[in-house]
Amino acid sequence: MFKKKRWKRAEQGAFLYKLGILLGQGYSINKCIELLRSQFPPKNQVLLDNFLDVLSSGNSLIEAFSKLKLPDEVISSLSINSVNGNLTVSLKENGTFMKKKAEWQSRLNKTLRYPLFLLFLTAWIGILFYHFLFPQFTLLFSSLEVKTPLFTEIMLSILAMFPYLIIGVLIVLLISWIVIYLVKRRVSYSDQMSLLLAIPILKKFIKLRNSHFFSINFGSMLKSGLPVTDALIVMEKHMRKGFFQEESKRLQKGLIDGKPLHDLLLDKPYYAKEMSGVVRLGQAHGELGTELIQYGEWIFIELEEKIVSELQKIQPILFAFIGGYVLLMFASMLLPMFKLMDAL
């Protein structure tokens, strides 16, 4: 039932955020669901009813959230913060982040929709030119014994390669999917993260995302009174199998070996370099939890600004590419006409 009626991310984010607000006001979970139920469409009301059924069966709140098919990092964050009493704050933060991610995805779709339509239309125009218009020019030029312009011949060669390029792209995508599948099954999560960080276009985003998740969740546990080592143990226990579970083990081992936390964070390129300085400063002032939470909030703002900035660059680049392609195609069509006029 949950799988068939999966919520959209934006709706899930709205639910988590509103649930966090109501729980913070002192309402019970049952009362919160009762108040929120009418604000969602019927298919989501069924999910909320089943959510309560899971709880009434004696399952934990985190198990009930798992049935909603929330992202693994959200479930892990809620699980961690349910231990230290920060569940309401975590609900609001994760709800806000999920709504923002849905908004970024929507903006990306809107940014790409029109350029991709133009690209598709332009490709069809190129196919029509290649199969119907250019053969007529070639026939006419051969009958008049006039040589076809070099630029037009180059464009004809490029258009002739289109089917092979499409097949090549599909083959590359298939091979990439197989490689990604094998990597996920056979390579450790830490090594997978290192591979992702080797991609220049993703490196900055991944570091900011890792730093945000670690700062908010680790900082909230420290602020609730847990020592650093205990907080890492909680993260390891409540994280679903993944990168941060392995990272918790690595940091615990490093602390046992006598290394300071800020140096351990610099040993691997998983986080923004500034986070090490925040940790050092927070430990010196005895306010590590507060400093990390504040830093995580700053990172969220920086991440949002960077994503919006990159989205604004995509459309002009696509339009420039499509415009250049159309210009070259029409130039290759006009040059034969000018040359034919000279020949006549």
What confidence tens digit (pLDDT) does each residue in 189-226 have? Answer: 888 899 889 988 889 889 998 998 899 888 888 887 78
Write down the pLDDT at residue 146: 65
Write down the pLDDT at residue 344: 58
Whether the per-residue pLDDT at 48 is higher than 60: the answer is yes
The larger pLDDT score, comparing residue 174 to residue 63, is at 174
Q: Are 288 and 282 in contact (CB under 8 A)?
A: yes
Residue ranges and CATH numbers for the domains of the chain are 9-98 (1.20.81), 108-344 (1.20.81.30)
Whether the per-residue pLDDT at 3 is higher than 50: the answer is no
Whether the per-residue pLDDT at 6 is higher than 70: the answer is no
Reported as a single tens digit per residue, the pLDDT across 66-85 is: 777 788 778 888 888 877 77
Write down the pLDDT at residue 271: 92
Tokens of 199: 């991609």
Which whole number is the average pLDDT over 310-338? Answer: 79
Tokens of 312: 């604004």
Question: What is the rounded distance in angstroms from the CA atom of residue 142 to the CA atom of residue 25?
Answer: 84
Residue whose entry in the numeric block shows the structure tokens 């090594």: 191
Write down the pLDDT at residue 217: 85
Percent of the chain scoring above 90 in pLDDT: 11
Per the prediction, the chain carries an average pLDDT of 82
Question: What is the rounded distance in angstroms from the CA atom of residue 304 to the CA atom of residue 97?
Answer: 10
Tokens of 202: 């993703």
Reported as a single tens digit per residue, the pLDDT across 140-173 is: 667 766 677 777 778 777 777 777 888 888 999 9
Task: Write a three-state SS string for the chain.
Answer: CCCCCCCCHHHHHHHHHHHHHHHHCCCCHHHHHHHHHCCCCHHHHHHHHHHHHHHHCCCCHHHHHHCCCCCHHHHHHHHHHHHCCCHHHHHHHHHHHHHHHHHHHHHHHHHHHHHHHHHHHHHHHHHHHHHHHHHHHHHHHHHHCCCCCHHHHHHHHHHHHHHHHHHHHHHHHHHHHHHHHHHHHHCCHHHHHHHHHCCHHHHHHHHHHHHHHHHHHHHHHHHCCCCHHHHHHHHHHHCCCCHHHHHHHHHHHHHHCCCCHHHHHHHCCCCCCHHHHHHHHHHHHCCHHHHHHHHHHHHHHHHHHHHHHHHHHHHHHHHHHHHHHHHHHHHHHHHHHHHHHHHC
What are the contacts of 233-239 at 24+ separation with CB within 8 A? 234/80, 234/83, 234/84, 235/80, 238/76, 238/79, 238/80, 238/83, 239/76, 239/79, 239/80
Write down the pLDDT at residue 1: 38
Reported as a single tens digit per residue, the pLDDT across 251-291 is: 999 999 999 999 999 888 999 989 999 999 998 888 898 89
Write down the pLDDT at residue 241: 63
Q: Are 37 and 48 in contact (CB under 8 A)?
A: yes
Whether the per-residue pLDDT at 178 is higher than 50: the answer is yes
Three-point CA angle 209, 211, 247, nearest 5°:
105
